[in-house]
Amino acid sequence: MKIFILAHTHSDKDLCAKLSNQISADGAIWIGEKCDFDFFGVEDLIHVDSNNSIKSGRRLSDHFDEQVVIVGLDDGFTGEILASFSVSAYEPVVWGCHGFDYCKDDSDIVLQKYGFGGKVLYTSKISSGCVQFNSKAIDSSAREAKNPSVVSLDGQDSVSFEILESVESSDENKDVTSADVVVSGGRGIQGPEGFESLKKLAGKLDAAVGASRAVVDMGWIDYSHQIGQTGKSVSPKLYVAFGISGAVQHRAGIQNSSVIVAINTDRNAPIFDICDYGIVADWKEVLEKWVSV
Ligand SMILES: Cc1cc2nc3c(=O)[nH]c(=O)nc-3n(C[C@H](O)[C@H](O)[C@H](O)COP(=O)(O)OP(=O)(O)OC[C@H]3O[C@@H](n4cnc5c(N)ncnc54)[C@H](O)[C@@H]3O)c2cc1C
């Protein structure tokens, strides 16, 4: 069984190179027109000259006639490619992995991932299929570039899926998943204008702005800021929650933060059970003092 690292035009190449090193990938797969592979330090490269995730997954499935494990980062486009491969090849996909190792007894791969909102750490093993790796769990340095041999997968696709248009997000705010500091607001900040104040503090701390689902549902801020079970998972060095009660679905997205600070008027709010520093106070009072420091 061989391990292939998967990357595409929008991937973070640095992270891909590190992931490739961490899992000792045998080969790499590049999805996209311009093919600059040698970042990953592997000997075998497969190039799929396509920006179509579904067709790319199908072509990969048609190509491999041996057992492979394809490992990618936790971005949406990678997820689509892996899902398409998985359906075509009847192989499993394991999402959001934090740990990756080799089984001592056989050639299987051992994976670790959190479940039930972080209450359980699963250990599982697979001999072939797809793995999506949590970016924050990548910790090794990049390995040296090589001059790999390239196989191009061209040809007719029978899949009826076309991307008609692709528009870059106009949101200039920092991404919550990669920021070292995240400043979040919930229903307790009392209205969409609360986020204007939060953005001031975020600017001061070079932080990203996050939100609970309640306020996203009310249209106070865009979904791209939502943190939690049905939003994004974050793992910043500092997470600050203003007026967020700390429902289990929100906690699922913040459990990997190094330090959590919560500001809430209700001393019995569940967020105080998991935070490192809790302040029982009105959010605005704390925010204004912080901004003025
Ligand atoms: C299937 C499912 C998936 C979900 N996914 C998510 C998810 O991904 N992310 C998510 O966040 N939620 C999610 N939810 C919703 C979740 O259950 C909660 O409803 C939501 O997180 C509550 O948001 P909140 O804390 O902003 O609001 P509330 O629970 O209403 O809490 C507001 C808090 O603000 C405090 N407050 C009020 N006034 C002030 C003030 N002046 N100063 C300071 N504090 C004040 C209150 O004491 C309260 O604790 C999901 C729910 C379901 C069923």
pLDDT single digits (tens) 105-149: 788 999 998 877 667 888 999 999 999 998 777 877 766 767 777
Q: Name the pLDDT band for 173 (thresholds 50, 70, 90).
A: confident
- Does residue 283 line the site of ligand 1, with CB under 6 A? yes
Q: How many angstroms separate the CA atoms of 138 and 25, rounded?
A: 14
**Residue 239, domain member (yes or no):** yes
Range 8-28 average pLDDT: 88
Roughly how many angstroms between the first and final C-alpha of the chain, as a whole number? Answer: 57
- Does residue 194 line the site of ligand 1, with CB under 6 A? no
The one-letter code for the residue type at 112 is Q
Judge if 11 and 89 occupy the same domain: yes
CA proximity to 3, closest of 101, 150, 96, 117: 101
* Residue whose CB lies within 8 A of the most ligand 1 atoms, among 116, 182, 184, 187, for a mutation test: 187
Q: Name the pLDDT band for 206 (thresholds 50, 70, 90).
A: very high
Q: Name the pLDDT band for 229 (thresholds 50, 70, 90).
A: confident
**Residue 75, domain member (yes or no):** yes
Give the other-Cβ count within 10 Å of 80's Cβ.
17
**φ, ψ (nearest 5 deg) of residue 220:** -75, -25
Judge if 285 and 199 occupy the same domain: yes
Distance 72 CA to ligand 1 centre (A): 32
3-state secondary structure of 145: coil
**Using CA atoms in the order 174, 188, 212, 135, what is the torsion angle rounded to 10 degrees?**
50
pTM for the predicted model, two decimal places: 0.67
**pLDDT of amino acid 164:** 82
**Residue 135, domain member (yes or no):** yes
Distance 249 CA to ligand 1 centre (A): 9
Domain containing residue 247: CATH number: 3.40.50.1220
Judge if 143 and 248 occupy the same domain: no
Distance 211 CA to ligand 1 centre (A): 9
Q: Which residue has the higher pLDDT, 22 or 286?
A: 286
- What is the residue-averaged pLDDT of the chain? 89
**pLDDT of amino acid 63:** 95
Judge if 136 and 10 occupy the same domain: yes
**Residue 169, domain member (yes or no):** no
Which residue range(s) make up the domain with 94?
2-152
**Residue 98, domain member (yes or no):** yes
**pLDDT value at 43 more than 80:** yes
Q: How many angstroms separate the CA atoms of 147 and 124, rounded?
A: 34
Range 45-56 average pLDDT: 92
Count of domains forming the chain:
2
Which residues does 272 contact at the CB level (< 8 Å), separation at least 6? 246, 262, 264, 278
**Residue 96, domain member (yes or no):** yes
Q: CA distances (Å), 60 to each of 19, 40, 71, 151, in order?
A: 20, 19, 13, 11
- Closest protein CA for atom 22 of ligand 1: 214
**pLDDT of amino acid 263:** 98
**pLDDT of amino acid 92:** 95
- Does residue 184 line the site of ligand 1, with CB under 6 A? no
**pLDDT of amino acid 165:** 80
